[in-house]
Structure 1
Amino acid sequence: MIEKDDAAKVQFNVYLPSALVKQIKHAAIDEGTSLSALVEKIMRAYVEGDQ
């Protein structure tokens, strides 16, 4: 669930293996979405227990 205060986007930097970054960038292209949108989708699924 998105709360009203969560609607604003903030930058969140993480360090990941370059091969993983390359894979997730390609996955975003394949899905026709942005990298940020795909990472948000994956992270929401994780915290909501839909791994």
Structure 2
Amino acid sequence: MIEAKDAKVQFNVYLPATLVKQIKHAAIDEGTSLSALVERIMTDYIEEDDR
């Protein structure tokens, strides 16, 4: 089975509870989903690292 380039997959990580709470609140404040916010943060990090 070949996945599409932009297919979404589940990615589990363990983070401090306080950080999870903060990022959930940030997503709510921005009016976006937790997944969308984390995706944007990670993409920004990777793109910055590529420079």
Q: Say how many residue pairs are matched.
A: 46
1:8 aligns with 2:7: yes
TM-score, length basis structure 1: 0.85
> Once superposed, what is the RMSD of the aligned Cα atoms?
1.2
Matches within 5 A, 1:20-39: 20-39=19-38
Instruction: Tell me which amino acid in the other structure corresponds to 1:31.
Output: E
Max Rg structure = 2
Instruction: Tell me which amino acid in the other structure corresponds to 1:13.
Output: N
Any runs of at least 4 consecutive aligned residues in structure 1 with deviations exceeding 6 A, and if so which? none
Q: Percent identity?
A: 78
SS of residue matched to 1:15: coil
- Where structure 1 has 5 or more consecutive residues not aligned to the other structure, the ranges are none
TM-score, length basis structure 2: 0.85
Q: CA deviation at 1:6?
A: 2.5
